[in-house]
Amino acid sequence: MKLTIGHLYPDLLNLYGDRGNIQCLMKRCQWRGIEAETVEFRIEDRIDFSELDIVLLGGGSDREQKLVCEKLQTIQKDFKAYVEDNGVVIAVCGGYQLLGNYYKTGSDFMEGLKLVDLYTEQGDGRLIDNVVIKSDLFDRPVVGFENHGGRTYIKKNKALGKVLYGFGNDGKSDEEGVVYKNVIGTYLHGPLLPKNPHVADYLIRNALERQTGQKISLEPLDDRQEIEANQYIIDRFVKSSGK
């Protein structure tokens, strides 16, 4: 068993510690004796999605997203086929916005990948805060930090979770992120996976199950420190919000 993680455009989409997400996935595989490799793709590289088990699309500023979005159109068909074949994707913030149909700012219109039927439009002011969400995919809440000007509307798709603290997708719906097949899109960074090892394991398990066609039960790891830090955020922010 070997997992190959594709990190898309880390030179452009790398805001707020996205690389930490990769390190977390790699370490959690290694600690369990699961072979794992990360392949970084630059904008000029060809991507063979059939060789990938997990794809990470990180966050970026509007300017960087603009640079990436034209390139994304050239890989759309292959990326879509990977997603429809249950390929695992974690897309954070700017990457999450690019999963959808488009991202519209005051001065720009960026065509998205159209992998998930959602869209993003810039609103008044930025949504910046710590976030805690409750997702029915996990026993524990998911914590993170958000900083986005775009408001994402996920239409009929399933949200990653309900907002217990923070703004979430649009600051109004009380929903955060999206789940479509094995794709997770979220505004949570900070980075997401070291703060939420249960989310990292969800991605690893799904990738292994897709590759082997078998049910996988991952060996538990000593996550006491991570859980303590995760719990600190929940206690600090959710208790005060009264939700």
Candidates 148, 175, 186, 208: give the one binding ligand GLN (CB under 6 A). 148
Candidates 14, 23, 61, 130: give the one binding ligand GLN (CB under 6 A). 61
29 is catalytic: no
Near ligand GLN by CB under 6 A, which window of 134-142, 148-156, 164-172, 197-205? 148-156
Question: CA dist 51 to 6, 95, 164, Å?
Answer: 9, 21, 38
Establish if 60 lies at the interface with ligand GLN (CB under 6 A): yes
Q: Residue 60 or 141: which CB sits closer to ligand GLN?
A: 60
Q: How many residues bind ligand GLN (CB under 6 A)?
A: 13
CB of 178 to ligand GLN, least distance (A): 15
Candidates 3, 12, 15, 131: give the one binding ligand GLN (CB under 6 A). 15
Give contact residues for ligand GLN (rule: CB under 6 A).
Answer: 15, 59-62, 65, 93-94, 97, 147-150
Write out the catalytic residue numbers. 93, 189
